[in-house]
Every structure is written in structure tokens, then in C-alpha cells.
Amino acid sequence: MAGATCGSQRGRNIDGVPDSVYWKLYFAARKLPWDPQTVDLSRECADWERIRREFPAEDYAGQVLQLCTFFYDGEESVTYTLTPYLSAAARLGLGADLQLFLTSQLAEEARHFEFFRRYFAEVLPDANPRMPLPPEPRSVLVDGLQDIADRLRKEDEPGQLRELLVEGVAHYMGVVESMLARTGYRGVGEVLAARGWLPGLQEGFRLIRRDEGRHVAFGIHFLKDIASPHPPLRKIALDTFERYLPAALATVQLFDFPRPLFPIEMLVQYAMDAGQQFLAAAALTDEAVELTELERDLAEL
Ligand SMILES: [Fe+2]
Ligand SMILES: [Fe+2]
């Protein structure tokens, strides 16, 4: 029934789902599918071989491999820990539109993890992506997300559950996706593009980063709607950022190699800017910041 716009349905979509920002983000996700199995990886093996051969002292290959390992573990972790957010949103009655979006995000996180699984299997078969992460990325990307997911699962009291969901969204969409994931995909994607290296990895990064833009936008709108108007909830979101900020920055600093492929000052700046932009856009701080980077990605929606 393309084009049907009967008056009684204006402003609503399927079966009473409100035409909200969450619905728009869900709809954008549905319009922009991609298949990790069809990203062209045919040039990757030759590129890795050349990078290892031409830059042995710099160990550029080792630096990109560390990054891919962090992303593999991070995408696996966010895939496994998102379901309790969906359940909590349903139990709190936050709306079908919000649940629809989180459902699309869950499918996308699985797709990101699938991309890295395929990449390691086909391009880096001798590497082990399951090497234990250093303590800082482990605490923010894995253990911390597992902890809040467990608490969300167990909580039944609505007021407590709402507080936990605010904490979880600040951690997951704010610290992990906004400060770390998007910073990594952006900064490293730019460096690889400038050198013309690893086009398959570049393409995967581009597609994942576009998805992450929607996830971050969801977190901003959620905290603006739910946490910003209520000082105790606002404090929980800000405290969560403060608690994980040292581990997030220490994770970025792990790319401070003697001869870094990725300028460390640039990565730290990207991460700090992303955090400030997220908090300001969610009306959790009074800072006036420009959202050009996120807006550029979301303009693709
Ligand atoms: Fe992801
Ligand atoms: Fe994400």
C-alpha cells in the first residue's frame, strides 16, 4: 500500500507505533541493511603481507591487528549484553517504537561481530582474536557491560530499573559506542583511507560506523527524554561517564606506540570530543558544542 496516507493514520505507523525519533531511527536501520559476507576482502591478504614486509620496525600490521582484536571483542560483548535493555524497556512500558529500535540495534551488533569473525577467519587465520584484553578495555568493554546487563536482568522494581537503564545507556551508547567505537572506526578509517590500505577493512569500518551513529543517536535521545529532566537520573548518567572515563582513555592510550600509525593525540581528541558532544546533546551538561561529526553521519539516514 505504498503512498496510502489515510487521515486517521497520520502521525502513526504500524498498529499505533508513534512516529517518534526512535521509530525514525528504526526505519533508517531497516532501509540500510548490509551483508558482512559480501564485503570485498579480495585485496586484504596481499595488503597485510605488504604492510608486514615494508614496515617491520614500525609494526603497523601489529597495530592494526590490535585494533581488530579490540573491535572483535567489543562487538561480541555488545551483541551479548544488549538484550536486557530491550527487556527493561518493555517492562517499563517505554513504548513499542523504542523496542523496535533496540531490536534493529541487536541485529546490527550481531552483524558487526559477524564481520570481524569473517575477517579473522578469511584474512587473519593465524591470529587469535580471543587473546585476553588488557585490564582497561576489558573493564569498560566487557566486564562493565556484563555487570550492568546482569543487574538489568534481575531488577523488578520500576524505579530502580529505570535508574539502571539510564546507567546502562550512558555506559553502552555513551562511553562504549560514542567515545570508543566511533572514535576507533573514524580515526582508523581515515588513516587507512589516506594510505589506501586494506579496502575491505575500510568498507567494513564505514558501514559499521554508520550503524553506530544511529546507536549513539538513540542513546542521546533516550537520555534527553528520560534522564535530563530529572536531576537524580541526570547524576547517574554523569557519574557513569566519570566512572568509566579513565578506562576509556586508557584504552585509547594503548595505541600510543613508539611509531604510531594512528596519531594518538588525534584519537584522544576524537574520544574526548565525542564524550562532550554526547553529554551536551543529551542535555546532561550545559555546554554548547557542535555536533558536526555525528550530524554528518546521521545525514546519511
Ligand atoms: Fe557495533
Ligand atoms: Fe553499536
Domain tally, the chain: 1
User: What is the C-alpha to C-alpha distance for residues 274 and 271, in angstroms, rounded to an integer?
Assistant: 5
Residue 63 lies in a domain: yes
Question: Is there a contact between 212 and 182 (Cβ–Cβ < 8 Å)?
Answer: yes
Residue 290 lies in a domain: yes
Distance from residue 108's CA to the centre of ligand 2 (Å): 7
Residue 165's Cα: distance from chain center in Å?
A: 17
What pLDDT does 4 receive? 45
Q: Is the pLDDT of residue 301 over 90?
A: no
Q: Which domain holds residue 91?
A: 40-300
Distance from residue 182's CA to the centre of ligand 1 (Å): 9
Residue 3: pLDDT band (50, 70, 90) is very low
Distance from residue 5's CA to the centre of ligand 1 (Å): 35
Distance from residue 177's CA to the centre of ligand 2 (Å): 6
Residue 11 lies in a domain: no
90: cell is 518493555
User: What is the C-alpha to C-alpha distance for residues 34 and 39, in angstroms, rounded to an integer?
Assistant: 9
Distance from residue 92's CA to the centre of ligand 2 (Å): 22
Residues ≥6 apart with Cβ < 8 Å to 109: 75, 78, 79, 82
Measured CA to CA in angstroms, residue 208 lies from 77, 113, 182, 213 at distances of 15, 10, 9, 9
Residue 67 lies in a domain: yes
Task: Name the closest ligand to CA 105.
Answer: 2
Distance from residue 48's CA to the centre of ligand 1 (Å): 24
273: cell is 570530543
Return the higher-pLDDT residue of 296 and 192: 192
What pLDDT does 9 receive? 46
Distance from residue 221's CA to the centre of ligand 1 (Å): 18
Tell me, what DSSP letter sits at residue 178?
Answer: I
User: What is the C-alpha to C-alpha distance for residues 68 and 70, in angstroms, rounded to an integer?
Assistant: 5
Residue 169 lies in a domain: yes
Residue 80 lies in a domain: yes
Task: Name the closest ligand to CA 113.
Answer: 1
Q: What is the CATH number of the domain that holds 152?
A: 1.10.620.20
Residues with C-beta atoms within 5 A of ion ligand 2: 177, 212, 215
User: What is the C-alpha to C-alpha distance for residues 91 and 113, in angstroms, rounded to an integer?
Assistant: 28
Convert the pLDDT of each residue in 235-289 to its tens digit.
999 999 999 999 999 999 999 999 998 889 988 998 999 999 999 989 998 776 6
Residue 10 lies in a domain: no
Q: Is the pLDDT of residue 46 over 70?
A: yes
Question: Is there a contact between 281 and 220 (Cβ–Cβ < 8 Å)?
Answer: yes
Residue 186: pLDDT band (50, 70, 90) is confident
Residues ≥6 apart with Cβ < 8 Å to 243: none
Convert the pLDDT of each residue in 94-105 to its tens digit.
999 999 999 999
Residues ≥6 apart with Cβ < 8 Å to 61: 48, 51, 52, 55
Residue 138 lies in a domain: yes
Question: Is there a contact between 22 and 101 (Cβ–Cβ < 8 Å)?
Answer: yes
What pLDDT does 60 receive? 95
Distance from residue 3's CA to the centre of ligand 2 (Å): 32
